[in-house]
Amino acid sequence: MPSRPATSTLRDTRTAAHELAERLERSVGPHAPAALLLVASFHHRAALPEAFDLLRATLRPEAAVAITAVGVIGEGRLYEGVPAMAALLLDEPGLEASAVRIAPDDGPPATWDERRRAFLLSGGLQRGEEPPSEVLTLLWADPFSSDPPGLAAIGGTGLVHGGVLSGSSQAGGNLLITARRHERAEVSAEGAAGLALRNARAAPISAPGARPVGPSVIVTASDGARLLGLGGRPAIEVLREVLEASGDLESLEGDAPMGGLAIGIAIDEHRPDGREPTCRLRPLTGFVRPSGASNRDSPPALRLAEPIRPGRTVRFFMRDPEWAAETFRTRLLERGMDLQTAPAAVSAVSTARAFESSAATIDDRDEASRPRPLEFGGPCGVGIRTAGEFVQLGGRAEIDTLAASVLCFEGPPSLA
């Protein structure tokens, strides 16, 4: 049986869970499905454990995980600011699954030896000296009680996909629930949770949510997270010149850049092929005047989200939903995938606005909430908006806050 998604926008958590169970149960065969992924908005947080148990009792998956997020993706639509719950039932031929639970007392990922890493990331599926490529892990991490950069680093082989949970602005707000069949569910607001999949016929695809504008340039002056000079010139002058040439000058408004601007920091500056370097993207957070009386008349510096040192190679980027969606579709087609026809679990979507249509709005008073369509979304996508996701950039594992990732499961779709 193929993968099956279902979505509910009912306000009552238990009723929404019943709706999902009814839709998915219709296509469940005599054998237990491999895995269940349940994602929910914070409207459902209080009763989510009960909804999780109801779905497990009805569908009997071998492994299950549930998470909360600020934005829920259900069947190609983003639900944000309204109640929403979406589920994906995985039951590919030969697929094995186990719930993954990483607790704070498991220690920093950097301290794990090979055996412990294999055990934790596989949920116990890893067997003896079996090659790690046999198991693929979907993992979502709480930013307050886990080590997302460490988890991203151990996913450097490309076998860990997922990201950082979004929605809560303080510790204890996010909810993670895991369970294996015949075991009680484990409910927590800490650590990381996910699914380990063996024999998964899946293709991970990721794409940036912003297009490059202008060429790469060397940082010649900086002060912590303040970018002062590029190529020997004031950074603000270079930015204005680049945006004017690309037709994006309206992105500068007053003394602060709008949210569409980002800066890419090269991770492979010295490419032997001479091509533009691969960049990890970070948002520009504003302008700031250089400190000190002697700098009072100096041009404003660009304020970044993290420190940068002179000598680094950078490039400016602009969020562009149409460009991002087209890039994503091209990468999917290169792998022989099409979200309009292939079942897919959207494992992580960070800054979904980089991919979402601006045409629709959500009215929380409207009982039949109007979801915002994702430009890259097909009918089978289920997932969340994350605060950042695990991606592969230039052969290195990074947390990207301006990208989207999809894990496409092969085979014909089955819509519940």
Q: What is the pTM of this model?
A: 0.83
pLDDT at 64: 97
236: tokens are 């603000």
By CB atoms closer than 10 A (0-12, 13-18, 19+), residue 158 is middle
pLDDT digits (tens, 9 = 90+) for 201-245: 777 777 777 889 989 999 999 999 999 999 999 999 999 898 888
pLDDT at 342: 54
pLDDT at 185: 96
pLDDT at 9: 94
Are residues 405 and 348 in contact, defined by beta-carbon separation less than 8 angstroms? yes
Among 205-209, 375-379, 383-387, name the most confident range: 383-387
**Is residue 415 predicted with pLDDT exceeding 50?**
no
Contacts of 36 (CB under 8 A, 6+ apart): 55, 56, 59, 61, 63, 64, 65, 87, 88, 89, 90
Quick one: pLDDT band at residue 1, thresholds 50, 70, 90?
very low
Query: For 34-43, 277-286, 393-402, which range has the lowest pLDDT when averaged over its residues?
Result: 393-402
- What is the mean predicted confidence (pLDDT) over 329-351? 61
pLDDT at 331: 79
**Is residue 47 predicted with pLDDT exceeding 60?**
yes
pLDDT at 209: 78
Query: For 139-153, 205-219, 399-413, which range has the lowest pLDDT when averaged over its residues?
Result: 399-413
Quick one: pLDDT band at residue 320, thresholds 50, 70, 90?
confident
Quick one: pLDDT band at residue 368, thresholds 50, 70, 90?
very low
- What is the mean predicted confidence (pLDDT) over 321-338? 75
pLDDT at 351: 46
By CB atoms closer than 10 A (0-12, 13-18, 19+), residue 27 is middle
**Is residue 21 predicted with pLDDT exceeding 90?**
yes
Among 172-186, 330-344, 392-406, name the most confident range: 172-186
Higher-confidence position of 222 and 126: 222
Query: For 51-55, 201-205, 379-383, which range has the lowest pLDDT when averaged over its residues?
Result: 379-383
| Torsion angle of the four alpha carbons 408, 410, 412, 415, in this order, in degrees rounded to the nearest 10 | -40
Between strands 160-164 and 135-141, the pairing is parallel
pLDDT digits (tens, 9 = 90+) for 99-122: 999 999 999 998 998 888 888 888
Between strands 176-180 and 396-400, the pairing is unpaired
**Is residue 394 predicted with pLDDT exceeding 70?**
no
Question: In whole angstroms, what is the distance from residue 135 CA to residue 317 CA?
Answer: 35
pLDDT at 52: 98
**Is residue 77 predicted with pLDDT exceeding 70?**
yes
Return the percentage of the chain with pLDDT > 70, whole number.
77
Closest CA to 398 of 284, 316, 306: 306
**Is residue 188 predicted with pLDDT exceeding 60?**
yes
Query: For 147-156, 235-244, 302-311, which range has the lowest pLDDT when averaged over its residues?
Result: 147-156
- What is the mean predicted confidence (pLDDT) over 266-270? 77
